[in-house]
Every structure is written in structure tokens, then in C-alpha cells.
Amino acid sequence: MATEKILFLDIDGTILLPDHTIQASTLEAIKQVTERGIKVFLATGRPLHEINQLKNKLNIQSCIGYNGAYATYQGKEIYNRPMDPNLVDHFVQTAAKSSEELVLYRNDANLFTNLGKPYTINFINYFDLTLNEHYQEADRNNILGGTIMNLNKKNLQHYQKSSYFLSEVNVDGLRDSYDIIQKTTNKGEAINYILNKFNLKPEQAIAFGDGLNDREMLSTVGKGFAMGNANPDLFQFANYKTTSVEDNGIYNGLKQLGLVN
């Protein structure tokens, strides 16, 4: 009997191919581990209100979203950690002094500081975002996460604070976008909460990821897989490596563990 009890899967660059399709081997791997009784969670930087179609396609209704700020189990909320409103203000005020824009996530909408910039439209189109609104200061208490768009690396210093780091979005064409990852609110912290909730140990948990927003996740679980297409800086946080998302990465990784045929 397998000792692994729970599996966490990033979405972009891990489950989804660059054209947003899913390899048949990935669907089969998820089916086989589910049949083994292993709990499967999506663990993504994406807003959960935008992935219902994907959840249904994968038959996965348990998720960590907004880079670890919110989680559900079988569709019911189990974890909710909004961002410090003062930190939200810091990002909004800093971006306003530059050519960058923000998307900040409420649990029911994507809040943009500007919806009309070409790079903003490109971001919306790539991630197929539909519930888009303008950010209002009244939303500052309900922000679960965010992304800075059109950020030149020389301007990274303007945002620096010790309570978070900025993670480059690991998608071609969007590498000037950076997710805001808090040290106390990230995928790893959410996974720790979930493991405790189900009385599971880290060595019973598996995770797959490709971006630097996955580093805490891969460090938290006993079996952390970096995809072959991962950001090179992620490999140091993983204790396993698999093939790329375009070369059956999830299937091949789970096969290493003897969990798929």
C-alpha cells in the first residue's frame, strides 16, 4: 500500500501546456492516484473563481489558490488569509509612481489598477480572466494576493520589504510580471495547515511545480518535484526532478514513485 496520502499540483507550466491544453497522460495520472485514495489539491497562484472549468475537467474540487492565501476542500472553505491592508497600500502607491500596474485578487473578482494597458489586456487574455473590475481603496481589507505587471527588473528595489518576495511568472511573454509571495502566506504555509487538518506528515505528501512561487510548497512536502521546464532557481528547493510539462512530467514523476502504471 502506498504511503503517500496527498498530492498538490501547480497549474500553469505543470498541468497546463503553453497552449492551455492538458496531456492525456496527466489526466490518466490524476485518475490513477485518485483511485488509490490519494487526496489531490490544485495549488496555484490563480484566483479560484477563475478555474471552475479546469477543476471540473480534472475532477478536482480541493484547491489552494492566490499563492496560498485561500484553500478549499471539496468546494468548502478551510483556509483564508487576506493580505495586510498596509502592504496592499504599499504596492498600490509604489506602482502609481511608475509604469507598472497591479492585479489584486478578491475571492470573487480580479481588481486591476488599470484595465486598458496593452500588457494588462495581454495578461487578462493569457489567463482567460473574466471577472475583472477596477481596484478601489475600499477593497484593501479583502485582498488575497496580487501580481505586478510590466515590472522592469531595475525597479524591483522599489517594492522591496522583508515580509515578502517577488516571483517572476514562469510563462513566456509574461516574464515582466511578478507574483507577490508573502513569507507567512504562501503555498507551503497553506499545505502545512492542510497536513495538520488531516493528521498527515510531510513525508506522506507530494507536490509538483515549475515557478518560484512553488518553492515553499516543494520544500514543505516530503516528495517535491520540479518540472523539467521549471525556473532554474527552483531546482534547489526540490528533492525530485521530472520531465517537462510537454513531456508527461506529472505522469513520469508519479511513475518514479510507483503510483501510476
Instruction: Identify which of 41, 60, 29 has the alpha carbon closest to the alpha carbon of residue 256.
Output: 29
- DSSP conformation class of 9: E
For residue 1, pLDDT beyond 60: no
**Residue found under cell 520540479:** 226
Of all residues in the chain, what percent carry a pLDDT higher than 70? 99
Residues 29-38, buried b or exposed e (16+ Cβ, 10 A)?
Answer: bbebbeeeeb
Residues 6 or more apart whose Cβ sits within 8 Å of residue 10:
42, 43, 44, 207, 208, 209, 210, 211, 214, 217
Kindly report the backbone phi and psi dihedral angles of residue 69, in degrees, each rounded to the nearest multiple of 5, phi listed first: -85, -15
Instruction: Identify which of 73, 71, 69 has the alpha carbon closest to the alpha carbon of residue 81.
Output: 69
Band of the pLDDT at 24, cuts 50, 70, 90? very high
CATH architecture entry for 85-182: 2-Layer Sandwich (3.30)
SS3 166: strand
The whole-number pLDDT of residue 172 equals 86
Mean predicted lDDT score pLDDT of the chain: 95
pTM: 0.91
The whole-number pLDDT of residue 240 equals 98
| Model pLDDT for residues 30-49, shown as the tens digit of each residue | 999 999 999 999 999 999 99
CATH number of 6-81+185-256: 3.40.50.1000
- Spatial strand order of the sheet with 132-134 comes to 132-134, 109-112, 101-106, 145-149, 178-182, 164-168
The whole-number pLDDT of residue 17 equals 96
The least confident of 57-71, 173-187, 195-209 is 173-187
Band of the pLDDT at 99, cuts 50, 70, 90? confident
Q: Where are the domains of the chain?
A: 6-81+185-256, 85-182
Q: Inter-axis angle of helices 249-256 and 24-35, to 10 degrees?
A: 40
| Model pLDDT for residues 209-256, shown as the tens digit of each residue | 999 999 999 999 999 999 999 999 999 999 999 999 999 999 999 999
Q: How far apart are CA 132 and CA 18, in angstroms?
A: 23
The whole-number pLDDT of residue 138 equals 97
The C-alpha cell of 194 is what?
A: 492542510
Kindly report the backbone phi and psi dihedral angles of residue 220, in degrees, each rounded to the nearest multiple of 5, phi listed first: -80, -40
The C-alpha cell of 81 is what?
A: 488569509
SS3 30: helix
**Residue found under cell 497522460:** 25
| Model pLDDT for residues 155-197, shown as the tens digit of each residue | 899 998 888 989 999 888 899 999 999 889 999 999 999 999 9
- DSSP conformation class of 98: S
| Residues shown for the chain | 261
H-helix or E-strand containing 224?
Answer: strand 223-226
The whole-number pLDDT of residue 2 equals 65
Q: How far apart are CA 163 and CA 87, in angstroms?
A: 9
